[in-house]
A and B are shown apart, each in its own frame.
Chain A
Amino acid sequence: MNKKKTSLLALPYGLWMAGFIAIPLFMVFCYGLTDRSGTFTLANVLAIATPEHRKALVLSLLLSAVSTFLCLLIAFPLALILRGRRIGRGSFILFVFILPMWMNFLLRTMAWQTLLEKNGVINALLGILGLPALSIINTPAAIVLGMVYNFLPFMVLPVYNTLAKIDDNVINAARDLGAGPFQTLIRILLPLSVPGIISGITMVFIPALTTFVISNLLGGSKILLIGNVIEQEFTRGSNWNLGAGLSMVLMIFILISMTFVAKYDKNGEGTAL
């Protein structure tokens, strides 16, 4: 192939990215680094240090880290089982894990309210069984549950993809050489699925870090996450400069994630179907 000529094919999308990714980002920087009257200031970015913003950020980081960890904990065994189920009906089972994403995200999350409330479905069931009631609605636990629920497919997909690509012969070889199931898991399957895991972690962590809908619906708006702060500055508070400044702080975490992905998932194989 003529490399130079083929590279030119990337040009249209290159221009698109300049127009719809680079310029918008630049706009955020413009707003974030000025005040309402348009003069340069760092105040909007430094505002992250005020106690309420810092608290919201720390809480967001904590909740999204917990959710990401739980997603991984649920998704990895799931992906392993799915890998073992092979073809045919296995493909059906797999699709079943994507199907919920076709139902609206807001409706799904609101349905959790009905499930979790004090007089909700789960407590009604627990009551029938004579078990004590669960009261996690409007707590951080409910937010974590909402995050895990909504973002689990983003973890299952890449982890499954990398696991499915591992050659059976590699596993058999490990077994032949005397590795037990546990050792195979730790020394073969886990290391080989690192690209998928890393990609899954970022694809869960970032949306969880920035969500505002889940915390509103399941947290009873008593818990302020950094996503809520930004959303309110743009929609209710009307201080777009502050909102943009805080978004710039969030981008730092996104940059960190990107370097991780670039390091461990070079070919984007984790996210490919």
Chain B
Amino acid sequence: MKTIQSRLKRFFEDFYLVFTLIFLYAPIAVMMVLSFNSSKSRSQWGGFTFEWYRHMFESAAIMDALYNTLLIAFLSALIATVLGTVAAIGVNGMKKLPQTLFMGLNNIPMLNSDIVTGISLMLMFIAFGISLGFKTILLAHITFNVPYVMLSVLPKLKQTSRYAYEAAMDLGAGPVQAFFKVVFPDILPGVISGFLMAFTMSLDDFIITHFTRGAGINTLSTLIYSEVRRGIKPSMYALSTVIFTTVLALLLITNFAPAKAPKEDRREGRQTSFGTAFRRTAMIGAAFLVCIGVGYTSFRHFASTHSDELFVYNWGEYIDESVIAQFEEETGIHVTYDLFDTNEEMYPVIEAGAIQYDAVCPSDYMIQRMAENELLAELNYDNIPNAANIGEEYFTRSEEFDPGNLYAVPYCWGTVGILYNSRRLEELGISPPTGWADLWDPRYRGEILMQDSVRDAFMVALKRLGYSMNSTDEAELREARDLLLAQKPLVQAYVVDQVRDKMLNGEAAVGVIYSGELLYLQEEAEALGLDYELTYVIPTEGTNIWIDSWVIPYNARNKENAEKWINFLCRPDIAKKNFEYITYATPNAAAFALLAPAYRENTQVFPDVSSLVNSEVYRYLGTEADDLYGALWKEIKAQ
């Protein structure tokens, strides 16, 4: 009877363990599979490839981020361990009340939400004029790591006997000697677990790093976040797969290869088994990662000697990386290339002047805002002769946000429109959409992907109502809000980047999308052999014409190099190369002439600008209007 019962119990236990493991590892399995996917899509299988592994090792951005991640994790864990262990010894000797107070303060970073910790540190760094960068991330990581060390070391300290220490003193050891000979070996397991816990927490942190990092520095988390806008490159999955399999392999080797250690006392063994396992395996993993890091540092150290510099700040995935290399080669100028995810994120960085960029690529309305706040330097067109390659009509459009074309040279442009899945529409029995008004058709329930951005969402509603998308009239905006509220039940999700993957995967019938994504989508759909077509329409009511342009901030230190950079990007062959990589329409007329006919005839990507009569360019509306838009948008989201 006993055996059946215990077997049954064992079976249920195993079943439970396996079930939990599947739950924990299913997403990791997905990542590993995607790392071999020749399609960039997150949801479609395009065939097997090792390409991403090659790309991963070649990509300076990924290797830099890996290096930063490991170095920060290692240094912050090390410093936190020293600081925390010493403090724990001190706290252990304290009286009750100060000890409680001390530990209370110590617990704050651990219990406080990451977002508050991150923001509060950021506010302090800015207030004290500490420029954000590598050291601020390090300081922040140390701060949230020490509590974990304290919590590992303190219980061990409490277990150590004071008498052993006193006996050592009686036998002639000095306090320091007695500590290292008697107390330290006892607390060592706690110190090591503390270190590893700190290392792990630092490795996994995103939010605090996000707020305390300066531009110019990425960890893996922040790099991934900046890639989210244009889609995670499978190289990231490849990197994760490499780390995962290495750690797992080392783990298996250490667990099964060596002869079994003599059986410990059972109870004792169980008490420490978790700690030991964690320590042993994590230590190996950490050692492996640190080795890579050190190797890479030395490599980087020797690779970087340069005198002439240029600091560029651009959107993620918004340039063909070989263009940067070519620029460096031709001019001998070393480029430090940084990424931002949104205009709003870029603005305070430039405004604070903590990092002095030489060339930045914001959108229309943000350029207006920067110019109004005197954050931009006037361009010297004598140094940018290639600007003549830019079509005149784009400079004319730019006047709406940059009167006199003083500050900005157009880089990419496009429209916002509706992408639809032809087959899904047939299934739903709806004829293809022609205007924004179609997005209120109740038959689309759960089939609409809207843009998750205040201005874009309101643009759709305002245009449908026949108002200007730069309206600041409260009544008009309230009307637009009511319209968006009425639409919400039909909306499947508000998305930014994911609209691409979701449309490719046939998740929704229609999606509001930037025209720049079109070529990628259509080529991908063809390559994957999808049985549905994705078609783009520019709504009849008019839409947003957006222009991302290069500008030079007022505090640029290498203005002439920045002009060389802009001039270089305006060169027809370079603009063509860039277009072929990022597939956002180029305003460069000379480059356009070089493109393959299939591209030139694609009126969805390259519509005739003069025909877009109802369309407008976003303008900056001021703080008050921004707040109003924000508040109304929140009402929609909270509903």
**Across the interface, do A1 and B155 meet the contact criterion of CB distance under 8 Å?**
no
Q: Which of B17, B94, B243, B623 makes the CB contact (< 8 A) with A7?
A: B94
> Does A10 contact B27, Cβ atoms closer than 8 Å?
no
B146-187, CB under 8 A of A: which get 1 and which 0? 101011101110100010011000000000000000000000
What are the interface flags for A104-115 relative to B under an 8 Å C-beta threshold, 1 for contact and 0 otherwise? 111111111111
Interface status of B557 (Cβ within 8 A of chain A): no
Q: Return the contact of A110 from the options B42, B87, B123, B127 (Cβ within 8 A).
A: B42
Quick check: B84 and A95 within 8 Å, CB to CB?
no
Q: A136 vs B585: C-alpha distance in the bound complex, in angstroms? A: 37
CA distance A98 to B248 in the complex (A): 12
Within 9-52 of A, Cβ neighbours of B (below 8 Å) are at 9-14, 16-17, 20-25, 27-28, 30-31, 36, 51-52
> Does B507 interact with chain A (Cβ within 8 Å)?
yes
B220-A165 in contact (CB<8A): no
Whether A173 sits at the interface, judged by CB under 8 Å, is no
Known: A94-B278, A165-B271, A236-B454. A103 touches B155 (CB 8 A): no
Quick check: B270 and A107 within 8 Å, CB to CB? no
Bound form: Cα–Cα A114–B33 in Å:
11
CB distance from A100 to the nearest CB of B (A): 5
Question: A91, B273: Cβ atoms under 8 Å?
Answer: yes
Q: Indicate whether A78 sits within 8 Å of B94 (C-beta atoms), given known contacts A87-B266, A221-B494.
A: no
| CA–CA, A83 and B274, complex, Å | 10
Number of interface residues of B (CB under 8 A): 137
CB-defined contacts of A108 to chain B, threshold 8 Å = 27-28, 31
Q: Is B224 an interface residue (CB 8 A)?
A: yes
B119 near A243 with CB under 8 A, answer: yes
A97–B86 alpha-carbon span in the complex (Å):
30
Q: Are the C-beta atoms of B627 and A272 separated by less than 8 Å?
A: no
A16 touches B143 (CB 8 A): yes
Q: Which of the 9-residue segments A126-134, A182-190, A208-216 touches chain B?
A: A208-216
Instruction: Tell me which of B100-108, B545-553, B569-577 binds A.
Output: B100-108
> In the bound complex, what is the Cα–Cα distance between A95 and B344 (angstroms)?
41
The answer to whether B155 touches A269 (Cβ under 8 A) is yes
Q: Are B495 and A221 in contact (CB under 8 A)?
A: yes
A232 to B151 Cα, complex, angstroms: 33
**CB < 8 Å neighbour of A258 from B25, B107, B162, B200:** B107
A178 on the B face (CB < 8 A): no
Please tell me which stretch of B202-210, B290-298, B396-404, B588-596 contacts chain A, meaning at least 4 of its Cβ atoms lie within 8 angstroms of it.
B202-210
Contact B121 A102 (CB under 8 A): no
Whether A118 contacts B507 by the Cβ 8 Å rule is yes
Q: How far does the alpha carbon of A118 sit from the alpha carbon of B87 in the complex, in Å?
A: 52
| Distance between A267 CB and nearest chain B CB, rounded to angstroms | 6
B93, A6: Cβ atoms closer than 8 Å: yes
Q: How far, in whole Å, are A63 and B627 apart by their CA atoms in the complex? A: 28
A96 touches B91 (CB 8 A): no
A interface, by DSSP: helix, strand, loop or mixed?
helix
B194: A residues at CB distance < 8 A: 273
Q: Is the CB of A272 within 8 A of B264?
A: no
Contact with A along B252-279 (1 / 0, CB 8 A): 0001000010011011011101111111
Binds A, one of B301-309, B312-320, B381-389, B630-638: B630-638
Cβ 8 A contact of B92, one of A6, A233, A238:
A6
B581 interfacial contact with A, CB 8 Å: no
Given known pairs A3-B93, A165-B271, the reply for A254 and B113 (CB within 8 Å) is yes
Q: Which of A13, A212, A221 has a CB less than 8 Å from the CB of B83? A: A13
B587 within 8 A of A: no
Known A-B contacts A99-B248, A101-B200, A165-B271; A7 and B90 likewise in contact (beta carbons under 8 Å): yes
Tell which of B372-380, B432-440, B498-506, B601-609 binds the partner.
B498-506
A109 to B28, CA, bound (A): 10
B143 — nearest CB in chain A belongs to which residue?
Answer: A20
With A78-B20, A160-B274, A247-B119 as contacts: A114 and B492 at CB distance below 8 Å: no
Are B255 and A89 in touch, CB under 8 angstroms?
yes
> Considering only CB atoms and an 8 Å cut-off, how many residues of chain A contact the other chain?
125
* Distance A210 CA – B106 CA, assembled complex (angstroms): 20
Residue of B at shortest CB range from A202?
B111
Task: Label chain B's interface by main secondary structure.
Answer: helix
Which of A8, A87, A149, A227 lies in contact with B90, CB distance below 8 A? A8
The stretch of B232-240, B326-334, B411-419, B519-527 in contact with A is: B232-240
Determine whether A88 belongs to the interface, using a CB cutoff of 8 Å to chain B: yes
A11: which B residues are within 8 A, CB to CB?
90
Assess the B115–A247 pair: CB atoms within 8 A.
yes
B residues less than 8 Å from A90 (CB atoms)? 270, 273, 277
Per-residue CB proximity of B340-373 to A under 8 Å, as 1/0? 0010110110000000000000000000000000
Any A CB within 8 A of the CB of B542: no
CA gap between A108 and B31 in the complex, in Å: 8
Interface flag for B8 (CB, 8 Å): no
Task: Check A251 against B112 for contact (C-beta < 8 Å).
Answer: yes
B420-447: contact bitstring with A at CB < 8 Å (1 yes, 0 no)?
0000000000000000000000000000
- In the complex, the answer to whether B232 meets A104 with C-beta atoms within 8 Å is no
With contacts A8-B90, A86-B273, A108-B27 taken as known, whether A227 is within 8 angstroms of B115 at the C-beta atoms is yes
Identify the interface centre among A21, A22, A51, A213: most chain B CB within 10 Å of its CB.
A21
Task: Give, as a whole number of angstroms, the nearest-CB distance from A102 to chain B.
Answer: 6
23 A-B pairs within 8 Å (CB atoms) are namely A16-B142, A24-B123, A28-B116, A98-B278, A100-B28, A103-B244, A104-B220, A106-B206, A107-B240, A113-B498, A119-B506, A120-B43, A138-B493, A149-B23, A161-B274, A221-B493, A221-B494, A224-B638, A261-B107, A267-B155, A268-B154, A273-B152, A273-B197
Contacts A16-B142, A97-B20, A206-B111 aside, 20 further interface pairs with beta carbons under 8 A come to: A1-B165, A7-B90, A7-B93, A9-B87, A9-B89, A10-B102, A20-B124, A20-B143, A21-B108, A28-B119, A88-B260, A94-B273, A98-B200, A110-B42, A111-B27, A222-B493, A222-B494, A230-B116, A232-B634, A272-B154
Q: Sort A-B residue pairs by CB-CB distance and give the 3 closest, nearest first.
A: A220-B493, A10-B90, A91-B277
